[in-house]
Chain A
Amino acid sequence: MPTVTMRVNGAQTSADVPENTLLVDYIREHLRLTGTHVGCDTSQCGACVVHIDGKSAKSCTRLATQCEGSEVLTIEGLAAPNGTLHPLQAAFKEAHGLQCGFCTPGMIMSTLDLLQTNPKPTDPEIRSWLKGNICRCTGYQNIVKAVELAADEMSGS
């Protein structure tokens, strides 16, 4: 059983895991960081999006062993240590960008990547980017509003 070592939310982690362990299972089962959700397990829904080395990726479609030596960021790593929400988290709350909340970690981690490369995305750019994230409460309207609100907040306009 190989030993896997990676930094997750800034902390060094290591575990002996079977070769067929998916990254999302390493995060949820071994590290007990259950904010990252599993919706479809097959790359369709986007609930499991995390950042690997600074870019968004579907953690159900990645083996833990492939991430040896990587830097992983999950939804738990966004808020400040004192509990202050990240501007995207605050915006999703403010704009009611969630109903049941199952898709929310993926929505936030995915759009965080968008805002890192495109700080002021247009409505169509946000919708296009979120094609890999499914919300079954049909809450897209407010999700897009939340991303726009966060973009304003983060760019200081």
Chain B
Amino acid sequence: MKPVPFEYERPHSLKAACQLLADDEDAVIIAGGQTLIPMLAMRLARPSRLVDISRIDGLSGIEEQTDNITVGCMTRHAEVERSPVIASHVPLLSAAMPWVGHAPIRVRGTIGGSIANADPSAEVPLVLVTLDGTITLSNATGSRTIPARSFFSGPMMTEIQPGECLTAADFPVWQHSRTGIGFREIAKRHGDFAMVAASAQVSVDATGKCIACAIGIGGVTDTPLALPELASSLVGTAFTDQSVHDAAKAATDNLSAMSDPQTSPEYRKRAATKLIADALMAARNDALETSEGVTT
């Protein structure tokens, strides 16, 4: 259980890294390596060359923009987990972080790595898709930005083209004063891959009525999945346990859910219905708690 031989490069510029990737289609990026190295050790991954981007300046950091927060691809999970900027502007991401692996994994693992790896059960892609964020991809000559909702094309598959490096993700910031979040996940053991995860963000007005809603699920279909129709159907309503459960059930009924030896598609859909409803109610109650003088 040891990696196959490979070449190793540690470029000091993004341009050089992208050129290495463009010149060798079997080369892969290594950032934190927390998924790639076990894949190498099990010989599930057999790249010709690793391009280590960890020592390129400018790829790490959390930046406040007007309507979003930009997180550089090399930003470690642990930094995001304890960032006050993320906690106050993208609290859904803060809530998801403890579910990513274990503490020593989050010290090394990166935001860009979690997204580029495109595991259907991963938490960071789920949050980014739920909030309708964007992803920036760079190559040796320039960069482009695409919506996260069209970035994931299948399990471990993305729109990244040869010679491209994912350099940043932008998480939208909601300006409504009464906004709450809910994150729910079930896994066989904490830190294992999610069987099902649900993330929700809800804003309410002074009367407690929903004025904005986002909901997404991970681990159910072969990519992280936002449910915009479900979200918009709840805007303008006062959530009740029954109405939210019914809406969640309708949203999951026709999903093409994944199957594995432990978890049937039917189980995944039942669990998704429950977790969607729980995450939405938690988000709505969280939003109400931030609004003084509103009674439920």
Contact = CB atoms under 8 A, between A and B. Distances in A.
Q: Do A and B bind each other?
A: yes
B3 A20 contact: yes
A76 interface: no
Interface stretch (B103-111, B145-153, B279-287): B103-111
B28 to A, nearest CB: 13
A43 B1 CA distance: 13
A60 B41 contact: yes
Contact of B33 (A19, A42, A61): A61
Interface residues of B, number: 32
Contacts of A18: 5
A57 B104 contact: yes
Contact of A65 (B4, B8, B34, B105): B8
Contacts of A97: none
Interface residues of A, number: 31
Contact of B8 (A41, A63, A114): A63
Contacts of A35: none
A58 B2 CA distance: 15
A60 B98 CA distance: 21
Interface in A57-115: 57-58, 60-63, 65-66, 68, 110, 113-114
B190 A131 contact: yes
A41 B41 CA distance: 7
Interface in B78-104: 78, 98, 101-104
Interface of A: 2, 18-20, 22, 25, 41-43, 46, 49, 52, 55-58, 60-63, 65-66, 68, 110, 113-114, 128-129, 131-133
